[in-house]
Structure 1
């Protein structure tokens, strides 16, 4: 697509954002909403509309080549991502659930589930491609040096079991008997053929007819099959074979997109060079004039103040803004009064604080004259101000800008000059302030006749700053070591591992189309895999990928993924690392066994891991079998692992993580029942329950897995029946079954013998599914978590913020009954 296409896409997104900001920042304060359902509906509509803008801006940022436009788009894009995360957090607090169902909103807005899929910005990886490439190279070099790469095992080394040996002998014996029988039958046929040498014309005709019948039947069946396929394509019930591969237009579009990304790098390099050149030129040409103009204006201000007040003024300090305060639209008298008032306020600051406190206490005690109206309100946002600034910049600079002469979309020189003039002016102002302070002091000495005034009018005594108690900094145990050596040690110890090459979109699953309907009938639906994918993208991928989002959005330090074995918890951890280019640290109890023993060893290990994680952020710290850390009583088989080693130190380290540290702790568990739930919830502030896949997700998954492993989905394969009979089986079970069926030999037979659903039944029957009891146990466990309790209270009609009744109240209720 052309430059104008992406410019229109950007403009359209900005217009939508303008209408949203007018709705979110109204002229009058909106009244609180008392109906929780109506309030959530309002949040859901805002969430969906912001997501639409998010998708448009992400595409525009990926393809726009103008360097100055890309900077503004990036600022707005980060703000939109942060606002989406904020709205998600607010929906969780208002609905008391990590999963939300917005099928009614989609229907009202005429959208599809794909329209609310969370897009992963491509700049997360593209702008760090060089760093990631070097890091992968360093990691592979360390692994190769350690000879971690497994060599292929020699064939035939493994000893056979008795059953396998008997089976091999039986196969060989049957093959020998089959060969003997085939030889015997060939001899009989040869003897019969020798007696039937004289064949008549009738026999030849009969043979020809048989051949014709077979051939015509074969051709007719082939023709009928082709006509049926053409009819299905015509009716729109099947796809043309050529569409399975990207067409020429799509290939051309992909090539064009790659060419635009290459132009982005070229134009960015040119832009950086122009910044340096234009700044130096402005400093050289306009700097002296700026300096002299400022000096003249400040001298004029000295004289005006002298005429108005009878004395020269005190020069404003740098903290007050320096000479920038002088050029406000105020008279010298007003400016002097304002500066004097500021000094008085500074002297009376402690008293003012006490008065404010007392006033606050009085207001709280009396309830205030204006009581706030009860109801639900939108939480304050950290991103609406940034979005408003970005919208204003777009309107003032880019919306009506004529770019007919800038066909190639290179940088605008005039915009660079406007921006750099301000920077140079600030730089020169600091230099001028130093000179003019000295000049003012000279003027005062020359004018003041009284020598005693020198002491009064001299330099102001600066108030000594009270030295508060300094916080004790954590001691750096590896201050004398380089980051490369720490990185190498963690790799050699197996604590830092390469992430598997999977993407978040590989975690396939369909949307939940009946979630709202079920909740309206007081039935809590199980989330679909699409919901799980979106939650992981919002809580993990977007904050780790964007520094702005991580610093300003509600901070999530640790996530717990809970679900049965095989639902893809480990895959999601690797997908988070791949989407954001994060390092993967493995602190699972099984992986820590025998490493860094003792209390000092544990301190050193955690110091190494989190120091490298902070310095090479973003980073993911994975804790497999996270429930073992919080066992009430450690089982005998796990005592050697010492799974509770991290229980005391990990919460302390999590407290030390700040908004600027893009480090996320991800725990996975499949058996969280026998744990200290209170301690677990203190560490993991977000608990995501992952269910077994539903029918729609299983249908999609069977199709994708078969295609991925070299199979073909034809009319002979009844995917609907296969998805139905695989109820209770997880993604891991399905992957195992597909790989066992689609061997190399079976893939070669597909043209003659297509796949059928019956082939998958026998391997599935050998695997135990996730029974309903196990899933119910997980749901009951989740209901005991803080968010689960709030959800249960809300479902029973009790507000989650209300305190539970006392024991006496409960007894009174029982007696009343």
Structure 2
């Protein structure tokens, strides 16, 4: 696309964004002193869901446009402006997704006046109302996640490959996954000869049988012809006419077929292989050229930032220096004048035991006529820090609060609180930032004149504006240094002997929380182990590579999870079950899974700026969002459903370091003593918190072997579960007050004071994600599973529409470059393969349409029946779905991955006239 196209998309996206932020916060452009509008709350959960759904779809459209603009624009300064607003919109999309999950409409088998969090949000009815296609809900993965970190990723990969070469003799250890290829081991020579002989005898027998069959058919046709013509042969002329007729018919039919295909291609009803290949090649070349132009313009812009500093310093520096010197000269003259008028000597105050500027602060020291001792006092006088007035505490309110606290545990804690619906319009820090970006676009870029900038190079004036503050800061430091020398000389000339300023008292780390309660922190188990406590990040990485835990992965994408949209999700969720049958949740669609994986696993970890904005930084302010960041996620479903492929896709889209801690990798390693289970999580967290090696994906296959409860094998993976939980909470979990907490404190998790040096060295914005995969989730301990994994996603068997898309796409990939468009009846194949996993279908296609078979398609046409043998083999290998397996996954979804089973029981108790909280109260009493 052209530059004008991207500029138009950017303008449209910013106009839509300006409209959205005003809908969310009407007070953005309100006049000062104007009364704030009353907060608007929805009347029901359905209304709240509808509101958030419309916002989510609109922000998703804006997000897609901005991502396309940033990827295609070549103007470096425009790209920076787009990137800023793109990351803000990205954060809002993730926040709205969490709100949709929280306020999802409850199914008919639970309480209707209470929110029912459900991961698989159905927005089909909203799309119908807005007249939008299903593709609107596809969440794009920004390409700049990989492109902007390419250099750092290459350096990291080179380091990892070097360690692997030294430790294992190879440069990469691939992640073991079933990708449809035959992974059987090597066969002995005698066994291979026996198989070849057996196949050859069978082939010869089939050929003999085929030859006999052909001869019999010819004999039958000959006898039928002789009987019809009485044994008389045709005349030569008649025979030639018959041959000509048949040949002309064949030629005419072929010509008609070509004309029909050409017309269908012209109408867009059939793709043209040759034209598509040519267009794809041209599009790819144009994209590569545009990316190179983008890189060249960016390099020129970065060089200009350095070159223009000297220009601005020489042209505007003298004026800046005169202005700064005038301010400081005036301030110093006023200070000297005040001292002369008061007649108080600083030495006299020092003799009396009074320290200059100790009482009342620096501003009162000016009033007492004391000369300044440093240039810092100039900034304290000229730019005083704003002091926030604390509201006076109400003693009655404090007494009432204490009474309430005393009442807790005696019954008040057990009383269920009424759920308050969210505000539809409110002030948010994120909304204000997006509003600022829209104003910046309107003031600077909306009417920006670039008629002479066809090459989309950087604008010199904008470069000067960007570096002007930095140049002014540099000149300010030079002027301050000069005035320090003048102040020192002035004091020497006046002969004043100032008392030395008092030393700043060292502030000891506070050992109390906000309530004044004492907190005792304990080091984590790994910090007590001398073998690993003092290791550097490189030494830690070497240990992980030595144990074979760092793996490489294939360049997969989220779009590789092929599947269709659920067009009746809302209807199926809200309809009552037939009488006598139990209501069961519908399987999530592939589109819902793609969106959830992108929003939970990729967008929050894409860049360090986004991670910090979404999760906050250590001891700093947390974002004004109501959700906790996803640090761990469980993917469960049948074998071959695409779980491991999605782990590779997440790692590839992020350009992450993949650490594989599957049970087969860690069994019997790291020793058996008490400190041994903490070694593995300590090594992983040490690497993950280093920005040079982030982001980090921690992959655990067969995750149910980790979640085994209290009884576990001393050499098995279950021994690591408790320590992983401790490290995950201590390093990466955010608390409401914005501080860390340690789980090893005596009285449970406690917040870590901001100035406590003993606080665990973790960061909220560390880009790390734990991903567990299992095909047997029912074997895991439910309590540990809920405690460790923040989210759980079910990968079901594909439905008919998804199977159709899967067959079509996989066959097209195998036939790429072949003159044959497609083989077989896809609808029949989708129907026959019901109950097979996606991996089984992919494996079936790859084993059938081999390279040799594709080359021989023109000589030997393909038949759909050729897929039956691989499908039967896949069914024999337990790749076929059985009803019992499906019921087991649904049971896990209802009881562990969600609160569906509990809410069902509560509704039954309420209908019977009981109290669902009565049993809990009785236990607590």
Q: TM-score w.r.t. structure 2 length? A: 0.72
Matches within 5 A, 1:39-438: 39-95=48-104, 96-136=117-157, 146=168, 157=189, 159=191, 168-172=200-204, 204-205=236-237, 208-209=240-241, 211-230=243-262, 232-233=264-265, 237-247=269-279, 251-284=281-314, 286-301=316-331, 313=363, 314=365, 323-324=378-379, 326=381, 355=393, 375-377=421-423, 383-429=430-476, 432=479
Equivalent-residue separation in structure 2 for 1:61 and 1:597 (angstroms): 50
Match of 1:667?
Answer: 772
Instruction: Please state if 1:685 is matched with 2:790.
Output: yes
Distance 1:222 1:480, change over 3 A: same
CA contact (8 A) 1:34 1:376 kept: no
CA contact (8 A) 1:511 1:528 kept: yes
Equivalent-residue separation in structure 1 for 2:213 and 2:781 (angstroms): 70
Match of 2:684?
Answer: 609
1:391 to partner: Cα distance: 2.2
Distance 1:400 1:358, change over 3 A: farther
1:288 to partner: Cα distance: 5.0
Which shows bigger deviation, 171-180 or 696-705?
Answer: 171-180
CA contact (8 A) 2:682 2:727 kept: no
Equivalent-residue separation in structure 2 for 1:642 and 1:546 (angstroms): 35
Equivalent-residue separation in structure 1 for 2:523 and 2:921 (angstroms): 48
Match of 1:738?
Answer: 845
Match of 2:806?
Answer: 701
CA contact (8 A) 2:265 2:271 kept: yes
Distance 1:794 1:703, change over 3 A: farther
Equivalent-residue separation in structure 2 for 1:227 and 1:497 (angstroms): 53
CA contact (8 A) 1:552 1:659 kept: no
Residues 560-591 of structure 1 show CA distances to partners (whole Å, capped at 9, x for unaligned) of 00111111000000011111111111100012
1:535 to partner: Cα distance: 0.6
Match of 1:9?
Answer: 9
CA contact (8 A) 1:78 1:549 kept: yes
CA contact (8 A) 1:291 1:429 kept: yes
Within the candidate set 570, 591, 603, 1:516 is matched to 570
Distance 1:648 1:167, change over 3 A: same
**What secondary structure is seen at the aligned counterpart in 2 of 1:620?**
strand
Equivalent-residue separation in structure 1 for 2:84 and 2:399 (angstroms): 41
Structure 2 unaligned runs (5+)? 28-36, 105-116, 174-182, 219-231, 343-361, 406-417, 512-520, 577-582, 615-627, 733-762
Equivalent-residue separation in structure 2 for 1:517 and 1:321 (angstroms): 68
1:662 to partner: Cα distance: 0.6
Matches within 5 A, 1:443-454: none
Match of 1:582?
Answer: 656
Residues 693-746 of structure 1 show CA distances to partners (whole Å, capped at 9, x for unaligned) of 111111100101111222888687321222123221110111122123223453
Residues 104-127 of structure 1 show CA distances to partners (whole Å, capped at 9, x for unaligned) of 222233322222211111111112
Distance 1:759 1:290, change over 3 A: same
Residues 52-81 of structure 1 show CA distances to partners (whole Å, capped at 9, x for unaligned) of 111111111112222222212111111111
CA contact (8 A) 2:707 2:784 kept: yes
Within the candidate set 547, 557, 567, 2:608 is matched to 547
Match of 1:496?
Answer: 550
1:272 to partner: Cα distance: 2.0
Equivalent-residue separation in structure 1 for 2:552 and 2:831 (angstroms): 37
1:549 to partner: Cα distance: 2.3
Structure 1 unaligned runs (5+)? 187-199, 329-334, 812-817
Equivalent-residue separation in structure 2 for 1:320 and 1:472 (angstroms): 42
Distance 1:792 1:471, change over 3 A: closer
Which shows bigger deviation, 706-715 or 299-308?
Answer: 299-308
Match of 2:45?
Answer: 36
Equivalent-residue separation in structure 1 for 2:566 and 2:898 (angstroms): 21
Which shows bigger deviation, 296-305 or 55-64?
Answer: 296-305
Instruction: Please state if 1:628 is matched with 2:705.
Output: yes
1:525 to partner: Cα distance: 2.7
**What secondary structure is seen at the aligned counterpart in 2 of 1:738?**
helix
Matches within 5 A, 1:593-608: 593-599=667-673, 602-608=677-683
CA contact (8 A) 1:558 1:666 kept: yes
**What secondary structure is seen at the aligned counterpart in 2 of 1:538?**
helix
Residues 598-647 of structure 1 show CA distances to partners (whole Å, capped at 9, x for unaligned) of 34554444333333333301111100000111124879xxx696131311
Equivalent-residue separation in structure 2 for 1:7 and 1:512 (angstroms): 35
Which shows bigger deviation, 546-555 or 726-735?
Answer: 546-555
Equivalent-residue separation in structure 1 for 2:213 and 2:650 (angstroms): 60
Match of 2:741?
Answer: none
CA contact (8 A) 2:656 2:696 kept: yes
Matches within 5 A, 1:747-786: 747-751=854-858, 754-766=861-873, 767=875, 768=878, 769-785=880-896
Which of the pair is proportionally richer in helix?
Answer: 1
CA contact (8 A) 1:702 1:719 kept: yes
CA contact (8 A) 1:583 1:619 kept: yes
Instruction: Please state if 1:569 is matched with 2:643.
Output: yes
Equivalent-residue separation in structure 2 for 1:181 and 1:42 (angstroms): 71
Residues 742-779 of structure 1 show CA distances to partners (whole Å, capped at 9, x for unaligned) of 23453244335544444434443441521233222212
Distance 1:224 1:759, change over 3 A: farther
**What secondary structure is seen at the aligned counterpart in 1 of 2:793?**
strand
Distance 1:624 1:776, change over 3 A: same
CA contact (8 A) 1:566 1:730 kept: yes
**What secondary structure is seen at the aligned counterpart in 1 of 2:778?**
coil
Match of 2:410?
Answer: none
Equivalent-residue separation in structure 1 for 2:432 and 2:722 (angstroms): 40
1:44 to partner: Cα distance: 1.0
**What secondary structure is seen at the aligned counterpart in 2 of 1:687?**
strand
Match of 1:652?
Answer: 726
Match of 2:717?
Answer: 643
Distance 1:157 1:323, change over 3 A: farther
CA contact (8 A) 1:382 1:552 kept: no
Equivalent-residue separation in structure 1 for 2:194 and 2:88 (angstroms): 66
Equivalent-residue separation in structure 2 for 1:552 and 1:270 (angstroms): 29
Equivalent-residue separation in structure 2 for 1:324 and 1:399 (angstroms): 37
CA contact (8 A) 1:34 1:374 kept: no
Q: TM-score w.r.t. structure 1 length? A: 0.81
1:669 to partner: Cα distance: 0.9
CA contact (8 A) 1:97 1:791 kept: no
Residues 235-294 of structure 1 show CA distances to partners (whole Å, capped at 9, x for unaligned) of 7543344454242xx544433332222122222222222222222343455445434423
**What secondary structure is seen at the aligned counterpart in 2 of 1:733?**
helix
CA contact (8 A) 1:496 1:583 kept: yes
Equivalent-residue separation in structure 1 for 2:904 and 2:533 (angstroms): 51
CA contact (8 A) 2:709 2:784 kept: no
CA contact (8 A) 1:83 1:381 kept: no
Equivalent-residue separation in structure 2 for 1:665 and 1:80 (angstroms): 25
Residues 130-159 of structure 1 show CA distances to partners (whole Å, capped at 9, x for unaligned) of 333454555556666745589999987252
CA contact (8 A) 2:25 2:427 kept: no
Distance 1:628 1:720, change over 3 A: same
**What secondary structure is seen at the aligned counterpart in 2 of 1:665?**
strand
Equivalent-residue separation in structure 2 for 1:632 and 1:465 (angstroms): 44
Within the candidate set 807, 811, 815, 2:919 is matched to 807
**What secondary structure is seen at the aligned counterpart in 2 of 1:560?**
strand
**What secondary structure is seen at the aligned counterpart in 2 of 1:355?**
coil
Equivalent-residue separation in structure 1 for 2:915 and 2:156 (angstroms): 52
CA contact (8 A) 2:668 2:716 kept: no
Within the candidate set 603, 606, 618, 2:695 is matched to 618
